[in-house]
Structure 1
Amino acid sequence: MHFKALAVLSYGALVAAWFPGEDRGIISSDGVDLFNRSSSDVSGKRWLPAGKIRGVNVGSLFVVEPWMMSNTWAKMGCGGVKSEFDCVLKLGQAAANTAFKGHWDTWVTQADLQEMISYGINTIRIPVGYWMKEDLVYADSEHFPQGGLTYLTRLCGWASDLGMYIIMDLHAAPGAQQPHNAFTGQDAPSAGFYVDYQFERALKFLEWMANLIHTNNNYRNVGMLELVNEPIQNSGNVGSMRSTYYPNAFSRIRAAERKLNIGAYDLLHIQMMNQKWGSGDPTQYLSDNWFAAYDDHRYLKWANIGDVSQSNYISTSCRDDRGGNTPTIVGEWSLSVPDNVEWTSGWDPRTQQDFYKKWFAAQIISYEKQQGWTFWSWKTELGDYRWDYQAAVKAGVIPKNLDSVYNMGVC
């Protein structure tokens, strides 16, 4: 990978970015070998062995998307409502807190992480909502579960102990970055994020999270902080996000790190959706993109690629160029196909395992031409492995030895 060399006077000499895949000696500005640094020392990062980011999202853990877990959602008392906001409003704060704590305690466990490791997964992407910092919530008008930070800290500690790389993703922004979408935590009638006072709330979240990552040992393997997941596409609203929010986020995160005297080798990567996402060039107004990273979401299910056929899906994925902004991680993708064909005989996952195995291979071969990938998602209650990494491995569609995809002759 290559990074644009920019002068960062406040951090001294330029250094190599912190990503999985570094297999050389990593020496910090204070002369300490970071690769061998004790995990009890919160001032340093733990580096992964050589290789690309190969990961999964822990979807619907801290930002519930009811379509993924309708049975659990109903058992929580949230059946019939569309988002976390609506569920808390329905149940009341105390009852909702109890229901969500039960969910956080069981949806992704330490055993899940150990299973991921056994499948060659080295990274988790954790979607979170701004309400994780509870004092940002407007008590008179916003309704979100409380107490999630304890479980986030536990998850990051488990993952760090296992040597996993962690991407922390601001998945749900103040005011909602998309209308009528549960991944924002609410069923908002319009995208209200793109105004200064909502940007300010998000910036306070990012400062707080950066400080937490650098001062709490459980977060020692969080190497990347994403500024906002899937901002609205093809809209004039996102111009203010690029011109105001992104530069201010860089400034505020770096200021928080500077206040903690974080060394140049230990800076967080700051991640934005890449230009291919459709909300503009994220670097347009940045004066400094050192330690920047980019997120690309690639769902052929909703892409206009012409012929909807198995051969076209595989050939499209084999030649798919997700580059442009560098380094890019394909942070969301799946094996799902268009709604109107997904359960027809030619696409039925119960009989078409060979196709889905080849299509999985074609996708990761292309995505590993970039920095790597994180599949959406680790688990669901859909009974459909096309969205469920754990189930796809058990179905024999995703190999436990991920390197084996390069020997399949798919591309």
Structure 2
Amino acid sequence: MPRISLAFAAALACAAAVSAAGPASLDADGVYRGVNLGGWLVLESWLSPSVFAKHGVAAGAGEWQFCEKVGRDQCGPALQEHWDTWLTEAHIATLAEAGLQYARIPLGYWIVDRNSTEPLPAGGWWYLERAVGWLKSHGMRAVLDLHGAPGSQNGHDNSGRTGDIQWPRPGNVNRTVAVLAEIARRVVAWDASGNASMAGAVAGIEVLNEPWTPAVGGPVTYDLLRDFYVRAYDAVREQGFNGTIWVSDGFAGSGPWVGVLAPPQYTDVLLDSHLYHAFGGPTTNMTAWDTVRFVCDQDGPGVAGRTDADWVVVGEWSNAVTKRNPPGGRLQGGAASWLRAMLVAQLGAWDGSFAGGPGRGAGPGKGSFFWNFRTETGEAGWDLLMLLDQAGAPPQLSTAALSEFEFSC
């Protein structure tokens, strides 16, 4: 998840999108109700600054730069404590008890393809397997998200390497396709193994997170992405993976993706839009409660208006706004009430259940994944576990279970 200045409205500008025959699975609400497990297998220093400080690595560095500083062979061992403690089974249990049924897990390509010249850590796949097992044991499923691709698709730390965007080079694109095929092969092997703790635990694979397209002044062209998405889809399906396949809108809304991966040749495709209020746009100078009203009056209709998009999922969103976020630490005053209303309003905006909307899951919006499950610094707008602990979120997050006393648009 990048920290950028981005006009929120740009992501809602177009009303047509990837067509699909429908997701292979939805939760009991008829929508995706999920959370991101960010900052774990792909480092982001703003989420866990102590890890960087402990090893003398500058804030904002990607995992590549982190491991350059620590040492290639020392990096995996240095990160084991973080891998063991940033995400625990207790965290998964709490999220499951709150009614969440999906977790989106950011991955770097090096988890399956770490070559001899790259200063990246080994050992992450074992931790991923353990987490997927935890999810299944608590009634949740995973979406595996390729957050970091070879060469970096956006130049930000969340891609694994800050600096130049080199992903568009043919060798890097080809390598990304191979990485996705390998991830799919391993997931299918889990399903075929008969291991009850793993089989069926992965609901979807996202082929590339947040490519830096012309919509945000980036060099990753729509033509390149269209071709890559088709190749990635074919590579994943050829391994026998039958779950959903997610493609990013690249912050461009739906327009560039009209007719891409359309049925009947392509099925179970989701267009992933990341919709934040923290990076500028029309809510920049609004009060907290006016931002909630904007969610009700503008965000919900914006997603529901994508009439040519059969399935849109908001793979990242948060309660953070451009200004007037609560200070870190315990929530004070009326902060919990506003945060709770903001969260409930967005849940309804992203799944169509807002006032006057098409109804839960009935329109293009098929649910969402909150970013993030936790922060080290207690930033309530980004920390779902903190919100749950301090009444900044309802105790039950499935839409069907939301109390009649919760905020309603």
TM-score computed with the length of structure 1 as normaliser: 0.80
Q: Please state whether the residue corresponding to 1:59 is helix, strand or coil.
A: coil
Corresponding position of 1:313:
291
**Cα displacement string for residues 38-63 of structure 1 (whole angstroms, at most 9, x for unaligned residues):** xxxxxxxxxxx454221111110100
Q: Please state whether the residue corresponding to 2:203 is helix, strand or coil.
A: strand
Q: Please state whether the residue corresponding to 1:289 is helix, strand or coil.
A: coil
Corresponding position of 1:31:
none
Q: 1:294 aligns with which of 255, 271, 274?
A: 271
Q: Which has the higher relative contact order, 1 or 2, with Cα contacts under 8 A spaced 6 or more apart? A: 2
Q: 1:362 aligns with which of 345, 355, 376?
A: 345
Q: Name the CA distance, whole Å, in 2 between partners of 1:127 and 1:275.
A: 16
- In structure 2, give the amino acid aligned to 1:363: Q
Which residues of structure 2 form unaligned runs of 5+?
Answer: 1-17, 353-364
Corresponding position of 1:209:
183
Q: 1:175 aligns with which of 136, 141, 151?
A: 151
Q: 1:166 aligns with which of 122, 125, 142?
A: 142
Give the number of equivalent residue pairs: 356
**Cα displacement string for residues 330-357 of structure 1 (whole angstroms, at most 9, x for unaligned residues):** 1111111115x4369xxx9533222221
Q: Name the CA distance, whole Å, in 1 between partners of 2:254 and 2:153.
A: 12
| Alpha-carbon offset, residue 308 of structure 1 | 1.4
Deviation larger for 81-90 or 230-239: 230-239
Deviation larger for 151-160 or 213-222: 213-222
- In structure 1, give the amino acid aligned to 2:129: T
1:89-128 equivalent positions in 2, closer than 5 A: 89-128=68-107
- In structure 1, give the amino acid aligned to 2:295: S
Going from structure 1 to structure 2, the CA distance change for 1:388 and 1:219 (only over 3 Å counts) comes to farther
Which residues of structure 1 form unaligned runs of 5+?
Answer: 7-15, 22-48
Going from structure 1 to structure 2, the CA distance change for 1:74 and 1:18 (only over 3 Å counts) comes to same
Q: Name the CA distance, whole Å, in 2 between partners of 1:219 and 1:203.
A: 24
Going from structure 1 to structure 2, the CA distance change for 1:305 and 1:54 (only over 3 Å counts) comes to same
| 1:383 maps to 2:364 | no
1:240-389 equivalent positions in 2, closer than 5 A: 240-257=223-240, 267-274=242-249, 277-278=252-253, 281-286=256-261, 288-306=265-283, 307-319=285-297, 320=299, 321-323=302-304, 324=306, 325-339=309-323, 341-342=324-325, 350-351=332-333, 352-369=335-352, 370-389=365-384
Whether the 8 Å contact between 1:294 and 1:328 is mirrored in structure 2 is: yes
| Alpha-carbon offset, residue 284 of structure 1 | 4.4
| 1:397 maps to 2:395 | no
Whether the 8 Å contact between 1:172 and 1:184 is mirrored in structure 2 is: yes
- In structure 1, give the amino acid aligned to 2:223: S
Corresponding position of 1:13:
none
Corresponding position of 1:52:
31
Going from structure 1 to structure 2, the CA distance change for 1:4 and 1:281 (only over 3 Å counts) comes to closer
1:222-237 equivalent positions in 2, closer than 5 A: 222-233=202-213, 234=215, 235=218, 237=220
Q: Name the CA distance, whole Å, in 2 between partners of 1:4 and 1:94.
A: 45
Q: Name the CA distance, whole Å, in 1 between partners of 2:199 and 2:161.
A: 27
- In structure 2, give the amino acid aligned to 1:281: P
Q: Name the CA distance, whole Å, in 2 between partners of 1:331 and 1:226.
A: 10
Deviation larger for 353-362 or 278-287: 278-287
Whether the 8 Å contact between 2:44 and 2:60 is mirrored in structure 1 is: no
Q: Name the CA distance, whole Å, in 2 between partners of 1:146 and 1:53.
A: 32
Q: Please state whether the residue corresponding to 1:166 is helix, strand or coil.
A: strand
Q: 2:133 aligns with which of 115, 137, 157?
A: 157
Q: Please state whether the residue corresponding to 2:292 is helix, strand or coil.
A: helix
Q: Name the CA distance, whole Å, in 2 between partners of 1:315 and 1:94.
A: 51
Going from structure 1 to structure 2, the CA distance change for 1:175 and 1:406 (only over 3 Å counts) comes to farther
Corresponding position of 2:408:
410
Q: 1:220 aligns with which of 191, 200, 209?
A: 200
Whether the 8 Å contact between 2:280 and 2:322 is mirrored in structure 1 is: no
